[in-house]
Structure 1
Amino acid sequence: MASLAKLENGNLSEQVYAVIRDTLMDGRYEPGERLRISGLASELGVSITPVREAIFRLVSEHALEMKAATAIHVRDIAPDELREIQFIRHFMEGESAALAASRITPKELAELEILQEKFRNAAAVDPEEAALLNRQIHFAVVAAARMPLVYATVENMWVLMGPLLRTFHKTMPVRDLTSGSHKHYDLLAALRNGDAAGARAALQADIAWGNALIGWLEEQRAKSD
Protein backbone atom coordinates (compact mmCIF):
# COMPACT_ATOMS: atom_id res chain seq x y z
CA MET A 1 0.00 0.00 0.00
CA ALA A 2 1.14 3.52 -0.68
CA SER A 3 2.28 5.64 2.25
CA LEU A 4 0.02 8.63 2.78
CA ALA A 5 0.87 11.95 4.39
CA LYS A 6 -0.92 13.27 7.47
CA LEU A 7 -3.62 15.82 6.73
CA GLU A 8 -4.11 19.31 8.10
CA ASN A 9 -7.29 20.63 9.70
CA GLY A 10 -10.03 21.72 7.32
CA ASN A 11 -12.48 19.84 5.16
CA LEU A 12 -11.05 16.43 5.97
CA SER A 13 -13.44 14.47 3.77
CA GLU A 14 -12.44 16.53 0.73
CA GLN A 15 -8.75 16.23 1.61
CA VAL A 16 -8.97 12.46 2.05
CA TYR A 17 -10.83 12.18 -1.26
CA ALA A 18 -8.13 14.21 -3.03
CA VAL A 19 -5.28 12.19 -1.51
CA ILE A 20 -6.75 8.79 -2.37
CA ARG A 21 -7.76 9.98 -5.86
CA ASP A 22 -4.25 11.30 -6.53
CA THR A 23 -2.80 8.04 -5.25
CA LEU A 24 -4.95 6.10 -7.71
CA MET A 25 -3.90 8.38 -10.58
CA ASP A 26 -0.24 8.02 -9.66
CA GLY A 27 -0.47 4.23 -9.79
CA ARG A 28 0.54 3.77 -6.17
CA TYR A 29 -2.21 1.19 -5.66
CA GLU A 30 -2.37 -2.01 -7.67
CA PRO A 31 -5.48 -3.40 -9.41
CA GLY A 32 -7.50 -5.48 -6.99
CA GLU A 33 -5.65 -4.14 -3.92
CA ARG A 34 -7.84 -3.95 -0.82
CA LEU A 35 -8.10 -0.62 1.00
CA ARG A 36 -9.01 -0.73 4.67
CA ILE A 37 -10.85 2.29 6.01
CA SER A 38 -9.32 1.97 9.46
CA GLY A 39 -5.83 1.67 7.97
CA LEU A 40 -6.30 4.74 5.78
CA ALA A 41 -7.63 6.71 8.75
CA SER A 42 -4.58 5.78 10.79
CA GLU A 43 -2.16 6.72 7.99
CA LEU A 44 -3.82 10.06 7.40
CA GLY A 45 -4.27 10.87 11.08
CA VAL A 46 -8.04 11.36 10.83
CA SER A 47 -11.14 9.62 12.11
CA ILE A 48 -12.93 6.91 10.16
CA THR A 49 -15.83 9.19 9.13
CA PRO A 50 -14.06 11.40 6.53
CA VAL A 51 -12.32 8.33 5.09
CA ARG A 52 -15.62 6.49 4.75
CA GLU A 53 -17.20 9.52 3.05
CA ALA A 54 -14.30 9.80 0.61
CA ILE A 55 -14.34 6.07 -0.13
CA PHE A 56 -18.08 6.05 -0.85
CA ARG A 57 -17.62 9.02 -3.19
CA LEU A 58 -14.89 7.19 -5.10
CA VAL A 59 -17.04 4.07 -5.27
CA SER A 60 -19.87 6.15 -6.77
CA GLU A 61 -17.39 7.43 -9.37
CA HIS A 62 -16.36 3.83 -10.19
CA ALA A 63 -12.78 4.46 -9.12
CA LEU A 64 -13.12 1.90 -6.32
CA GLU A 65 -15.48 -1.01 -5.84
CA MET A 66 -17.21 -2.30 -2.75
CA LYS A 67 -17.39 -6.09 -2.69
CA ALA A 68 -18.89 -6.19 0.80
CA ALA A 69 -19.79 -3.74 3.55
CA THR A 70 -16.15 -3.35 4.61
CA ALA A 71 -14.32 -4.78 1.58
CA ILE A 72 -13.12 -1.89 -0.61
CA HIS A 73 -10.89 -2.72 -3.55
CA VAL A 74 -9.10 -0.86 -6.30
CA ARG A 75 -10.98 -1.64 -9.50
CA ASP A 76 -9.47 -4.21 -11.81
CA ILE A 77 -10.49 -2.66 -15.13
CA ALA A 78 -11.59 -4.95 -17.94
CA PRO A 79 -9.90 -4.76 -21.36
CA ASP A 80 -12.99 -3.19 -22.95
CA GLU A 81 -13.04 -0.44 -20.32
CA LEU A 82 -9.38 0.32 -20.88
CA ARG A 83 -9.98 0.38 -24.62
CA GLU A 84 -12.70 3.02 -24.08
CA ILE A 85 -10.42 5.05 -21.84
CA GLN A 86 -7.72 4.92 -24.51
CA PHE A 87 -10.26 6.09 -27.09
CA ILE A 88 -11.19 9.12 -24.97
CA ARG A 89 -7.56 9.95 -24.21
CA HIS A 90 -6.57 9.65 -27.86
CA PHE A 91 -8.81 12.54 -28.83
CA MET A 92 -8.77 14.69 -25.70
CA GLU A 93 -5.07 14.52 -24.93
CA GLY A 94 -4.15 14.63 -28.59
CA GLU A 95 -6.11 17.82 -29.22
CA SER A 96 -4.78 19.27 -25.97
CA ALA A 97 -1.23 18.71 -27.20
CA ALA A 98 -2.08 20.44 -30.49
CA LEU A 99 -3.40 23.48 -28.63
CA ALA A 100 -0.48 23.42 -26.20
CA ALA A 101 1.90 23.86 -29.15
CA SER A 102 0.73 27.46 -29.47
CA ARG A 103 -0.09 28.14 -25.82
CA ILE A 104 2.72 26.59 -23.78
CA THR A 105 5.08 29.05 -22.11
CA PRO A 106 8.89 28.77 -22.13
CA LYS A 107 8.79 28.05 -18.40
CA GLU A 108 6.24 25.24 -18.85
CA LEU A 109 8.30 23.74 -21.68
CA ALA A 110 11.46 23.83 -19.56
CA GLU A 111 9.62 22.10 -16.71
CA LEU A 112 8.39 19.42 -19.13
CA GLU A 113 11.93 18.75 -20.31
CA ILE A 114 13.08 18.32 -16.70
CA LEU A 115 10.19 15.93 -16.01
CA GLN A 116 11.08 13.86 -19.07
CA GLU A 117 14.68 13.39 -17.95
CA LYS A 118 13.50 12.40 -14.48
CA PHE A 119 11.07 9.95 -16.11
CA ARG A 120 13.82 8.43 -18.23
CA ASN A 121 16.05 7.92 -15.20
CA ALA A 122 13.26 6.49 -13.03
CA ALA A 123 12.00 4.09 -15.70
CA ALA A 124 15.19 2.04 -15.43
CA VAL A 125 14.98 1.49 -11.69
CA ASP A 126 11.66 2.58 -10.17
CA PRO A 127 8.39 1.73 -12.01
CA GLU A 128 6.28 3.49 -9.37
CA GLU A 129 8.19 6.75 -9.70
CA ALA A 130 8.17 6.42 -13.49
CA ALA A 131 4.38 6.07 -13.47
CA LEU A 132 4.09 9.20 -11.32
CA LEU A 133 6.36 11.23 -13.60
CA ASN A 134 4.60 9.99 -16.72
CA ARG A 135 1.30 11.21 -15.34
CA GLN A 136 2.83 14.59 -14.51
CA ILE A 137 4.11 14.94 -18.08
CA HIS A 138 0.73 14.20 -19.62
CA PHE A 139 -1.11 16.48 -17.21
CA ALA A 140 1.35 19.31 -17.81
CA VAL A 141 0.64 19.12 -21.54
CA VAL A 142 -3.13 19.17 -21.00
CA ALA A 143 -2.77 22.05 -18.52
CA ALA A 144 -0.81 24.02 -21.14
CA ALA A 145 -3.83 23.78 -23.47
CA ARG A 146 -5.76 26.00 -21.01
CA MET A 147 -8.99 23.94 -21.12
CA PRO A 148 -10.08 23.17 -17.54
CA LEU A 149 -13.10 21.05 -18.47
CA VAL A 150 -10.99 18.84 -20.70
CA TYR A 151 -8.38 18.65 -17.95
CA ALA A 152 -11.02 17.42 -15.47
CA THR A 153 -12.25 14.77 -17.90
CA VAL A 154 -8.74 13.52 -18.62
CA GLU A 155 -8.08 13.43 -14.90
CA ASN A 156 -11.07 11.13 -14.42
CA MET A 157 -9.65 8.73 -17.01
CA TRP A 158 -6.33 8.61 -15.18
CA VAL A 159 -8.05 7.86 -11.86
CA LEU A 160 -9.49 4.72 -13.48
CA MET A 161 -6.36 3.55 -15.26
CA GLY A 162 -3.63 4.71 -12.87
CA PRO A 163 -3.22 1.34 -11.15
CA LEU A 164 -2.93 -0.38 -14.53
CA LEU A 165 -0.23 2.04 -15.66
CA ARG A 166 1.86 0.89 -12.73
CA THR A 167 1.56 -2.62 -14.14
CA PHE A 168 2.45 -1.26 -17.57
CA HIS A 169 5.70 0.22 -16.32
CA LYS A 170 6.55 -3.03 -14.56
CA THR A 171 5.94 -5.20 -17.60
CA MET A 172 7.30 -3.10 -20.48
CA PRO A 173 11.00 -3.60 -21.33
CA VAL A 174 13.19 -0.98 -19.69
CA ARG A 175 14.90 -0.16 -23.00
CA ASP A 176 11.56 0.95 -24.48
CA LEU A 177 10.91 3.41 -21.66
CA THR A 178 14.43 4.80 -21.43
CA SER A 179 15.13 5.03 -25.13
CA GLY A 180 15.86 8.40 -26.69
CA SER A 181 13.27 7.50 -29.32
CA HIS A 182 10.45 7.55 -26.75
CA LYS A 183 7.45 9.49 -28.09
CA HIS A 184 7.83 12.01 -25.27
CA TYR A 185 10.88 13.38 -27.10
CA ASP A 186 8.90 13.82 -30.32
CA LEU A 187 6.26 15.60 -28.29
CA LEU A 188 8.77 17.95 -26.70
CA ALA A 189 10.32 18.76 -30.07
CA ALA A 190 6.91 19.56 -31.56
CA LEU A 191 5.96 21.77 -28.62
CA ARG A 192 9.29 23.54 -28.87
CA ASN A 193 8.68 24.24 -32.56
CA GLY A 194 5.03 25.23 -32.21
CA ASP A 195 4.08 22.22 -34.36
CA ALA A 196 0.45 21.44 -33.51
CA ALA A 197 0.13 18.45 -35.86
CA GLY A 198 3.41 16.99 -34.65
CA ALA A 199 2.46 17.41 -30.98
CA ARG A 200 -0.90 15.74 -31.58
CA ALA A 201 0.66 12.83 -33.47
CA ALA A 202 3.40 12.28 -30.87
CA LEU A 203 1.05 12.23 -27.90
CA GLN A 204 -1.47 10.02 -29.68
CA ALA A 205 1.32 7.61 -30.62
CA ASP A 206 2.43 7.55 -26.98
CA ILE A 207 -1.12 6.78 -25.86
CA ALA A 208 -1.41 4.05 -28.51
CA TRP A 209 1.67 2.43 -26.96
CA GLY A 210 -0.56 1.66 -23.98
CA ASN A 211 -2.61 -0.67 -26.17
CA ALA A 212 0.04 -3.27 -25.37
CA LEU A 213 -1.46 -3.34 -21.89
CA ILE A 214 -4.89 -4.15 -23.32
CA GLY A 215 -3.41 -7.21 -24.99
CA TRP A 216 -1.69 -8.18 -21.76
CA LEU A 217 -4.97 -7.88 -19.84
CA GLU A 218 -6.77 -10.03 -22.39
CA GLU A 219 -4.09 -12.69 -22.03
CA GLN A 220 -4.43 -12.64 -18.25
CA ARG A 221 -8.22 -12.96 -18.47
CA ALA A 222 -7.88 -15.86 -20.91
CA LYS A 223 -5.51 -17.67 -18.51
CA SER A 224 -7.90 -17.23 -15.60
CA ASP A 225 -10.99 -18.47 -17.49
Structure 2
Amino acid sequence: MIRLLRLLFWILIGRPLVLIVLGLNVRNLKNLPLQGPAIVVANHNSHLDTFVLMTLFPLSRLHRLRPVAAADYFLKNRVLAWFTLNIVNMIPLDRTKVGKRGEDPLENCGKALAAGEILLVYPEGTRGATDSLAKFKGGVARLKEQFPEMPVVPVYMQGLSRALPKGEIALVPVVVDVFIGEPVAWAGNRQAFTQALQDSVTALAAAAPHPTWK
Protein backbone atom coordinates (compact mmCIF):
# COMPACT_ATOMS: atom_id res chain seq x y z
CA MET A 1 0.00 0.00 0.00
CA ILE A 2 2.78 2.46 0.91
CA ARG A 3 4.60 1.77 -2.33
CA LEU A 4 1.39 2.46 -4.28
CA LEU A 5 0.77 5.70 -2.36
CA ARG A 6 4.33 6.79 -3.04
CA LEU A 7 3.94 6.11 -6.76
CA LEU A 8 0.64 7.98 -6.94
CA PHE A 9 2.08 10.99 -5.10
CA TRP A 10 4.98 11.32 -7.52
CA ILE A 11 2.80 10.79 -10.60
CA LEU A 12 0.03 13.19 -9.52
CA ILE A 13 1.88 15.79 -7.44
CA GLY A 14 5.66 15.50 -7.20
CA ARG A 15 6.64 15.20 -10.86
CA PRO A 16 4.01 17.67 -12.18
CA LEU A 17 5.24 20.20 -9.62
CA VAL A 18 8.78 19.92 -10.94
CA LEU A 19 8.11 19.43 -14.65
CA ILE A 20 5.13 21.74 -15.16
CA VAL A 21 5.11 24.34 -12.37
CA LEU A 22 8.89 24.75 -12.39
CA GLY A 23 10.44 23.16 -15.47
CA LEU A 24 13.82 21.48 -15.88
CA ASN A 25 16.80 22.02 -18.12
CA VAL A 26 19.01 18.96 -17.58
CA ARG A 27 22.55 18.46 -18.89
CA ASN A 28 24.18 15.02 -19.16
CA LEU A 29 21.29 12.95 -17.83
CA LYS A 30 23.19 9.90 -19.10
CA ASN A 31 25.59 10.27 -16.14
CA LEU A 32 22.83 9.54 -13.64
CA PRO A 33 23.21 6.08 -12.03
CA LEU A 34 20.13 3.90 -12.50
CA GLN A 35 21.42 0.94 -10.51
CA GLY A 36 22.61 0.79 -6.93
CA PRO A 37 24.62 0.87 -4.89
CA ALA A 38 25.25 4.46 -5.89
CA ILE A 39 25.27 7.93 -4.38
CA VAL A 40 24.17 11.18 -5.99
CA VAL A 41 25.50 14.28 -4.22
CA ALA A 42 24.22 17.80 -4.83
CA ASN A 43 24.29 21.37 -3.57
CA HIS A 44 21.43 22.21 -1.23
CA ASN A 45 19.50 25.50 -1.32
CA SER A 46 15.83 24.49 -1.04
CA HIS A 47 13.43 21.83 0.21
CA LEU A 48 12.56 21.33 -3.46
CA ASP A 49 16.04 19.93 -4.16
CA THR A 50 14.93 16.39 -3.33
CA PHE A 51 11.81 16.73 -5.51
CA VAL A 52 14.01 17.70 -8.45
CA LEU A 53 16.55 14.92 -7.92
CA MET A 54 13.85 12.26 -7.62
CA THR A 55 12.13 13.53 -10.77
CA LEU A 56 15.31 12.97 -12.77
CA PHE A 57 14.94 9.21 -12.34
CA PRO A 58 12.44 6.96 -14.15
CA LEU A 59 9.40 6.02 -12.07
CA SER A 60 10.61 2.42 -12.20
CA ARG A 61 13.56 3.46 -10.00
CA LEU A 62 11.45 5.34 -7.47
CA HIS A 63 11.45 2.54 -4.88
CA ARG A 64 15.26 2.47 -4.98
CA LEU A 65 15.80 6.17 -4.25
CA ARG A 66 16.69 7.06 -0.65
CA PRO A 67 17.21 10.73 0.18
CA VAL A 68 19.30 11.23 3.32
CA ALA A 69 18.19 14.02 5.67
CA ALA A 70 18.39 15.15 9.29
CA ALA A 71 16.11 13.22 11.65
CA ASP A 72 15.81 16.15 14.07
CA TYR A 73 14.19 18.29 11.35
CA PHE A 74 12.09 15.87 9.34
CA LEU A 75 10.88 13.70 12.20
CA LYS A 76 9.87 16.57 14.48
CA ASN A 77 6.14 15.90 14.12
CA ARG A 78 4.06 12.85 13.23
CA VAL A 79 2.62 14.14 9.94
CA LEU A 80 5.97 15.30 8.54
CA ALA A 81 7.66 12.12 9.76
CA TRP A 82 5.07 9.88 8.06
CA PHE A 83 5.38 11.78 4.78
CA THR A 84 9.17 11.83 4.66
CA LEU A 85 9.61 8.21 5.75
CA ASN A 86 6.90 6.69 3.59
CA ILE A 87 6.34 8.94 0.57
CA VAL A 88 9.82 10.45 0.17
CA ASN A 89 11.41 7.18 1.45
CA MET A 90 13.95 9.15 3.44
CA ILE A 91 16.79 7.71 5.49
CA PRO A 92 16.85 9.78 8.70
CA LEU A 93 20.33 10.79 9.80
CA ASP A 94 20.67 11.10 13.57
CA ARG A 95 23.11 13.98 13.96
CA THR A 96 23.33 13.43 17.72
CA LYS A 97 25.40 10.30 16.98
CA VAL A 98 28.08 12.18 15.05
CA GLY A 99 31.40 11.95 16.87
CA LYS A 100 30.11 9.66 19.62
CA ARG A 101 32.17 6.59 20.44
CA GLY A 102 30.44 3.38 19.38
CA GLU A 103 27.78 5.21 17.35
CA ASP A 104 27.53 5.14 13.57
CA PRO A 105 25.10 7.71 12.14
CA LEU A 106 25.68 6.23 8.65
CA GLU A 107 24.68 2.68 9.59
CA ASN A 108 21.33 2.81 7.79
CA CYS A 109 22.95 4.39 4.75
CA GLY A 110 25.37 1.48 4.54
CA LYS A 111 22.51 -1.01 4.81
CA ALA A 112 20.62 0.75 2.03
CA LEU A 113 23.66 0.66 -0.25
CA ALA A 114 24.21 -3.02 0.52
CA ALA A 115 20.61 -3.60 -0.60
CA GLY A 116 21.36 -1.97 -3.97
CA GLU A 117 19.68 1.37 -3.35
CA ILE A 118 20.63 4.87 -4.58
CA LEU A 119 21.27 7.53 -1.95
CA LEU A 120 20.60 11.22 -2.53
CA VAL A 121 22.95 13.19 -0.29
CA TYR A 122 23.67 16.87 0.40
CA PRO A 123 27.24 16.92 1.74
CA GLU A 124 26.92 20.52 2.97
CA GLY A 125 24.72 19.11 5.72
CA THR A 126 22.07 21.82 5.54
CA ARG A 127 20.53 24.28 3.12
CA GLY A 128 23.23 26.81 2.28
CA ALA A 129 23.47 30.34 0.95
CA THR A 130 22.83 30.91 -2.73
CA ASP A 131 26.19 32.56 -3.38
CA SER A 132 28.50 30.00 -1.81
CA LEU A 133 29.09 26.30 -1.32
CA ALA A 134 29.64 25.25 2.29
CA LYS A 135 32.46 22.87 3.11
CA PHE A 136 31.45 19.27 2.42
CA LYS A 137 31.23 16.86 5.32
CA GLY A 138 33.03 13.51 5.08
CA GLY A 139 30.17 11.02 5.31
CA VAL A 140 30.10 10.20 1.60
CA ALA A 141 33.82 9.39 1.69
CA ARG A 142 33.23 6.91 4.53
CA LEU A 143 30.54 5.19 2.48
CA LYS A 144 32.77 5.16 -0.61
CA GLU A 145 35.41 3.34 1.44
CA GLN A 146 32.87 0.65 2.30
CA PHE A 147 31.74 0.30 -1.32
CA PRO A 148 34.83 1.14 -3.42
CA GLU A 149 33.25 0.21 -6.77
CA MET A 150 30.15 2.34 -6.11
CA PRO A 151 29.71 5.39 -8.38
CA VAL A 152 29.42 8.74 -6.61
CA VAL A 153 27.90 11.24 -9.03
CA PRO A 154 27.98 15.04 -8.48
CA VAL A 155 25.02 17.26 -9.38
CA TYR A 156 24.68 21.03 -9.39
CA MET A 157 21.20 22.58 -9.36
CA GLN A 158 20.57 26.24 -10.14
CA GLY A 159 17.35 28.17 -9.64
CA LEU A 160 15.78 26.45 -6.65
CA SER A 161 17.01 29.13 -4.27
CA ARG A 162 14.69 31.49 -6.16
CA ALA A 163 11.81 29.02 -6.53
CA LEU A 164 11.56 28.28 -2.80
CA PRO A 165 14.25 30.02 -0.73
CA LYS A 166 15.12 28.96 2.79
CA GLY A 167 12.54 30.30 5.21
CA GLU A 168 9.89 30.95 2.54
CA ILE A 169 6.65 29.07 1.86
CA ALA A 170 5.50 30.74 -1.39
CA LEU A 171 6.58 28.90 -4.55
CA VAL A 172 7.87 31.01 -7.45
CA PRO A 173 7.86 29.28 -10.88
CA VAL A 174 11.47 29.16 -12.10
CA VAL A 175 13.13 26.96 -14.70
CA VAL A 176 15.74 24.89 -12.86
CA ASP A 177 19.08 24.08 -14.49
CA VAL A 178 20.55 20.72 -13.50
CA PHE A 179 24.14 19.74 -14.36
CA ILE A 180 25.15 16.12 -13.82
CA GLY A 181 28.83 15.28 -13.70
CA GLU A 182 30.76 12.07 -14.13
CA PRO A 183 31.44 9.78 -11.15
CA VAL A 184 34.20 11.03 -8.86
CA ALA A 185 37.09 8.58 -8.51
CA TRP A 186 38.56 7.62 -5.16
CA ALA A 187 41.35 10.07 -4.33
CA GLY A 188 43.40 7.95 -1.91
CA ASN A 189 41.87 8.96 1.42
CA ARG A 190 38.66 10.40 2.84
CA GLN A 191 39.84 13.99 3.02
CA ALA A 192 41.12 14.02 -0.56
CA PHE A 193 37.98 12.36 -1.88
CA THR A 194 35.72 14.83 -0.05
CA GLN A 195 37.68 17.72 -1.54
CA ALA A 196 37.54 16.15 -5.02
CA LEU A 197 33.78 15.79 -4.63
CA GLN A 198 33.38 19.43 -3.66
CA ASP A 199 35.65 20.52 -6.51
CA SER A 200 33.49 18.57 -8.98
CA VAL A 201 30.29 20.33 -7.87
CA THR A 202 32.10 23.69 -8.00
CA ALA A 203 33.23 22.92 -11.56
CA LEU A 204 29.65 22.12 -12.58
CA ALA A 205 28.53 25.43 -11.09
CA ALA A 206 31.19 27.29 -13.07
CA ALA A 207 29.75 25.87 -16.29
CA ALA A 208 26.23 27.08 -15.44
CA PRO A 209 24.70 30.00 -17.38
CA HIS A 210 24.68 32.21 -14.29
CA PRO A 211 27.05 30.62 -11.75
CA THR A 212 26.28 31.55 -8.16
CA TRP A 213 29.86 31.09 -7.02
CA LYS A 214 33.30 30.86 -8.61
Settle same-fold status: TM greater than 0.5.
no
Which structure carries more helix by proportion?
A: 1
TM-score w.r.t. the length of structure 2 is 0.29
- Look at both structures and tell me which one has the larger radius of gyration over its CA atoms: 1
Which structure carries more strand by proportion?
A: 2
